[in-house]
Amino acid sequence: MNTRHKILIVEDEFIIANQLRMYLQSEGYNIVATTDCYQHSVSCINTHLPDLVITDIRLFDDVDGGIKISEYASKHYQIPVIFLSGYADKETLYKAKQTNPNTFLIKPKPLDKSQLLAAVQMALPDSGAKKLPVTKVLSLRGKEIGNVEGFLFSKECEKSEIITRLIKLDEISYIETFNHHVKNTVLIRFGNRQKGFLVRDEIEEINKKLPLHFMRTHKSYIANIHRITGHKLPHYLLSNEAIIPIGEKYKESVCKYFNV
């Protein structure tokens, strides 16, 4: 088999983690990282957007660490998860099942390679088949804005209902903040410039949840590089004819990306 599916391994036992890496790499899988805690795992998920997460349930002193990782991967990106555990008690199994993992493997020492590979192949689409891409989404609480220019700072905006929305990352054109007008206000802009999603948050916090193809271009802007339609470097980028400014602090990294 020759596949470039990306897999994140979360395991706090070095021997098991190393076995997982070797077994999977020998079959052509791309191991994007090996982690052993919740925070590092979430960071790797945000950065690499793996196609599959294989996680131990208990990580050091965090008995539900793997379960929390599974919840995050499912909620934000709909990434399939395989649980590994040396524990098969009813309480552990019940908690794990609530996150709808693809499978649950009891880990013997050494690991059963054939059992592992079978579970991975079941969780991932067949490499020879036409597959649908995993939908990457961002879960945010905020307000739908139908007419940004006429609605953003009006009293009607304050009255509108707060909802939790799963936003497909590829639908986002760019993100801007209005902290200089309204504290902790971030607007998610889509292809239709009149529509947006208003979030009460710091732009730095939103930026931490985004994958690498979202680039900070200005203290008040984040651009989806996949949606850039033109530029006049080092001054601004274009996204669906919207002008995204480039701040002095970010000029070097933006120009480097575009080989200018």
- Reduced 3-state DSSP string for the chain: CCCCCEEEEECCCHHHHHHHHHHHHHCCCEEEEEECCHHHHHHHHHHHCCCEEEEECCECCECCHHHHHHHHHHHHHCCCEEEEECCCCHHHHHHHHCCCCCEEEECCCCCCHHHHHHHHHHHCCCCCCCCCCCCCEEEEEEEEECCHHHHCCCHHHHHCCCEEEEEEHHHEEEEEECCCCCCCEEEEEECCCCCEEEEECCHHHHHHCCCCCEEEEECCEEEEHHHCCEEECCCEEEECCEEEECCHHHHHHHHHHCCC
Share of the chain above pLDDT 90, in %: 33
pLDDT at 61: 75
pLDDT at residue number 132: 47
Confidence of residue 221 (pLDDT cuts 50, 70, 90): very high
| pLDDT(130) > 50 | no
pLDDT of residue 220: 93
The reported pTM is: 0.55
Domains of the chain from N-terminus onward: 6-123 (3.40.50.2300), 137-257 (2.40.50.1020)
* Maximum mean pLDDT: which of 81-95, 119-133, 150-164, 223-237: 223-237
Give residue 1's pLDDT band: very low, low, confident or very high (50, 70, 90): very low
Q: With a cut of 90, say whether residue 140 has pLDDT above it.
A: no
pLDDT surpassing 80 at residue 94: no
Average pLDDT over residues 172-184: 78
pLDDT in tens, 19-55: 999 999 999 999 999 999 999 998 888 778 888 999 9
The whole-chain average pLDDT of the chain stands at 82
pLDDT at 90: 67
- Which tops the pLDDT comparison, 14 or 89? 14
Kindly state the percentage of the chain with pLDDT values over 70: 80
154: pLDDT strictly greater than 80: no
More confident residue, 222 or 168: 222
